Structure formats: C-alpha cells, structure tokens
Amino acid sequence: MKNIPVLCVRGVSLAEAYEKALISLYKDGTYFKTQYDKEGDPLSLDCTMNITIDSPMADPMIHKAFPGGFADLREYVYELQGLKDSWTKNMNDPADTRWEYTYHGRMHDYGRWKEKVGDGSVQAGSFSVDQIEHVISKLVAQPFTRQAQMITWMPNHDLECFDPPCLQSLWYRILEDDDGVQWLNCNVRFRSNDAWGASFMNMFGFIMFNREVIADEVAKRSGKRVELGRLNWHADSYHIYGKDLEQANSRLFGRMDSTEFEDRIYNFQDEMIQEMYHEEEAHILEKIEKMNEKYGG
C-alpha cells in the first residue's frame, strides 16, 4: 500500500457518527508504527478521517464505548472553557513537567507562554490574541464571514515540542433559515486524533464549547436565536493505538453482531444521564480550584 486511506462517515448524532467512524477505521484503515510505541506493542490502526455530525446536540449523543465516565466529560468541558489554563509549565524550566499548553489557552491567549524569570514565573510572549473574542465578534457583525477561525499551532514551540497540540483549527460560519434562526456550522481539524482513547471526549467537549461559549454569546450579542448546525470533524491521523485494539474489540467491534445500536448508546437528555453528568460538578470544581491555587492560577 502506498496511500493512507481517506475515510468519510456521516451521522445525525454524535453517537451515531462516532460509531460509524470507528467501524470504518476498523474495516478500512491501515497499520502504522508510531513514535510512542513501546517494545512489543502491536501496530496502530490508522487513516485520514472526515466525520460529519448533522445535529450535534441531538440524541443519542453518548456512546457507551468510550474509555471514561460522565465526570470525565464534565471536567473536559470545564477545561475547554479555560478553568485549567494555569496548569501549564514554564517553557524554559526542564524540571517543570506540567502541560505545555491547553487548547483554551491557545485559543484565548494565542502567542503567550510561561517562562521562568528570576525567582518567579510570569506570562511571557511577544503578543497575545484572544481568538475566541474575535470569532464571536466577526460572527455577530457578519454571520456569513469566512474569516471566523482559531488556530493552535505555534511553530516557535510546537516544532520541537514532544507532545504538540493535536487540535489545529476551528472554523465557523452561520446560516440563517427562513424563520430567522441562525445555525452555527463548524469545521474542526486535528492533525492527530486518538480514535479510541480521546476522540469521543474531544468531539463532545467541542460540541459543548460551541454551544456554551460561541453560540450562546453570539445569540446574546445579536439578539438572534442561534443553534448548532453541522459539525465537520477532520483528522489527518485518526488512529487506534495497537495497545488499545484488544479493548476496542471487546467493548465494541466484537459486540456488533450480538447487540443493537440502542444497546450501545445513551440519550444525553435523559434525566438519569443529566444527573450523572452534573452530580460531580462541585467535586470537579473543588479539585480544579486546589490545583489553580497550587499553580498560582
């Protein structure tokens, strides 16, 4: 084989599209080495993937075959809203093993990074751009603009970074229907997306980010009703690590013939699921606050 497979799937809801993407990868992906392999690890299953979710907030939204729980989803949404931006390292301190970035930090404060100066730690950088504010302002002023986008890649850091950002860009545009309802469409590009270990949480998190951070603020400023239109998710490398293939087989691929789709999903709006999603909020916020105090956030 000389070409990496390019696969495309479409689903009405997140759960449907996520399952279709995993099955497509499993059936038609190719096997690759990765720079993170340990001795004896099986090859990873990989492709370039395009996933379109027609109605991102529609049920069934939650797929049971993702490694994590509802508390993990809720905490990730908080993270994308900026509550963990202080958890990043001093870039010139080899002893600092914290994160090198957060996605929200790159979107809200692009161009900044932490450097150790003297005995303390300060935010340093040649410039700072609040891309979130620019996107919202552009969409309010001109919903059909083609310029409402955010990027994460900072070549001055990321070309030498051990674990550079997987998320690369978000692009937004609004369509307005005959009833005056505005529909926020979004394209998301990942250079690398762990299909089994992370992609569901990534997609869920950015759907909620688009709803609660972008769409709600555009609606507030414009006075228009703003709903989420289609989400197009592109991953240059959409992969299941070899070490995770056995779990993916046992939790999903090996169960396809013995279960129905309804057995493999949850409706996010179900009262019980909403309780599970929200019940750990106080504990999560307390944990984040303690870490922010520790890191000086």
CATH number at residue 257: 3.30.572.10
Q: Is the pLDDT of residue 171 over 60?
A: yes
Q: Are residues 182 and 224 in contact, defined by beta-carbon separation less than 8 angstroms?
A: yes
Using a pLDDT cut of 70, give the percent of the chain over it: 95
- Does residue 1 sit within a domain? no
- Does residue 175 sit within a domain? yes
pLDDT band at 125 (very low <50, low <70, confident <90, very high): low
Using CA atoms, how far apart are residues 110 and 53, in angstroms rounded to an integer? 28
Q: Is the pLDDT of residue 156 over 90?
A: no
Residue 113 is predicted with a pLDDT of: 74
Q: Is 282 exposed, middle or buried (0-12, 13-18, 19+ CB in 10 A)?
A: exposed
- Does residue 99 sit within a domain? yes
Using CA atoms, how far apart are residues 294 and 272, in angstroms rounded to an integer? 35
pLDDT band at 123 (very low <50, low <70, confident <90, very high): low
- Does residue 12 sit within a domain? yes
- Does residue 231 sit within a domain? yes
Q: Which phi and psi (to 5°) does residue 102 adopt?
A: -125, 155
Q: Which of 200, 268, 276 is nearest to 61 (CA)?
A: 268
Q: Which of 130, 151, 127, 149 is nearest to 138 (CA)?
A: 149
The whole-chain average pLDDT of the chain stands at 93
Q: Rounded to two decimals, what is the model's pTM? A: 0.94
Residue 33 is predicted with a pLDDT of: 87
Using CA atoms, how far apart are residues 205 and 190, in angstroms rounded to an integer? 14
Q: Which of 174, 162, 178 is nearest to 214 (CA)?
A: 174
* pLDDT tens for each residue of 70-119: 999 999 999 999 999 988 877 777 777 788 899 999 999 999 876 655 54
Q: How many domains are there within the chain?
A: 1
- Does residue 31 sit within a domain? yes
120 or 261: which leads in pLDDT: 261
Residue 135 is predicted with a pLDDT of: 98
Residue 197 is predicted with a pLDDT of: 96
Residue 157 is predicted with a pLDDT of: 86
pLDDT band at 252 (very low <50, low <70, confident <90, very high): very high
Cα distances (angstroms) measured from residue 4 to each of 47, 61, 167, 169, 291:
6, 29, 20, 22, 41
pLDDT band at 45 (very low <50, low <70, confident <90, very high): very high
- Does residue 145 sit within a domain? yes
- Does residue 97 sit within a domain? yes
Give me the half-sphere count of Cα atoms (radius 13 Å) on the Cβ side of residue 203: 33
For residue 193, the enclosing domain spans 6-295
